[in-house]
Amino acid sequence: MKVLITGGAGFIGSHLAEAMSAIGAEVHILDNLSTGTADRIPAKAVFHQGDIANSSDVTRVMALRPDFVFHLAAQTDVRRSLLDPVSDADINIIGTINVLQASRQSGVKKIIFSSSCAVYGDTGSNTIDEGSAAKPISFYGISKLASEHYIQAFHDLYGLPYTILRYANVYGPGQKTNGEAGVVSVFLQRIKNHLPLIIYGNGEQTRDFLYVEDVVKANLLSLFKGNNQIIQLGTSVRTSIEQLAGCLQELHGDEVRILHEAEKPGEIRHSCLDYTYARSSLGWEPSCPIRSGLKMTYDDVMGD
């Protein structure tokens, strides 16, 4: 089995590349290293430096005719999307179209797309399922939703199979301090550097934190299940930012100062994803409780 992972030098992509290499797949990675790093690429994977926003880079790698494409490369920073919506659209929308065009021309069997709970916008305190209305409140969420529509259209028009995975807030070892779900890594880096934690707003905002290895398992299952479906991945557990800070302080042992600043525009106040459909369509459910995942992530950051 030959697979291409766009964004394979990044946080989730590198974990996925490791897992695919471990099961004997021929793994190719396309990444421009704007946020990913070459040292995260598994030894057995073949690295191709290039940008999904550049169609010739994508066409060059697709000439290898992979069986499956995991499309993870993206601009994932909500705040950056608000500052530079053109760049966000260029990477997330145009980049996705380039991957779709080349996948279709190369006879790819299936594309597995990493989407986001940001497509839903602010749903209040309700637990989200796949039938919930998609009303994104950031340009990042809009670009992810638009990419989903293009993927579905390529299936309807050209028969390109897909699975769309909408992630909750993914965290774990190797995560950078920027990006959509970077609050765990941001907090840990500040603790490591003896800096106070900064909470935007009152800290009562809630997130559904999903450990990276659980995300990898869902991607592997999507190779042969969940065809032409949108499936969300979460834990159905709400954790407030204040609670998250408390958990990390507990792990650290020493006192950590917490400062509050004004809320940032485009940020969702509450997000919690039901995984019932993932269980029935993929046979997937989350296996890592947040305290266990935070402990592994804490140990990784502090051990650097």
Q: How far apart are CA 46 and CA 43, in angstroms?
A: 8
Specify the amino acid at residue 198: I
Our answer to whether residue 140 is catalytic in this structure is yes
Sign of the alpha-carbon torsion through 229, 235, 238, 240 = negative
Q: How far apart are CA 160 and CA 50, in angstroms?
A: 23
208 close to 271: Cβ distance less than 8 angstroms: yes
DSSP per-residue string spanning 75-142: ---HHHHHH-HHHHHIIIIIHHHHHHHHHHHHT-SEEEEEEEGGGG---TTPPB-TTS-----SHHHH
Of 120, 140, 162, 298, which is the active-site residue?
A: 140
Question: How is residue 38 written in tokens?
Answer: 């070459």
In eight-state DSSP terms, residue 61 is H
Count of residues for the chain? 304
Q: Kindly list the catalytic residues.
A: 140
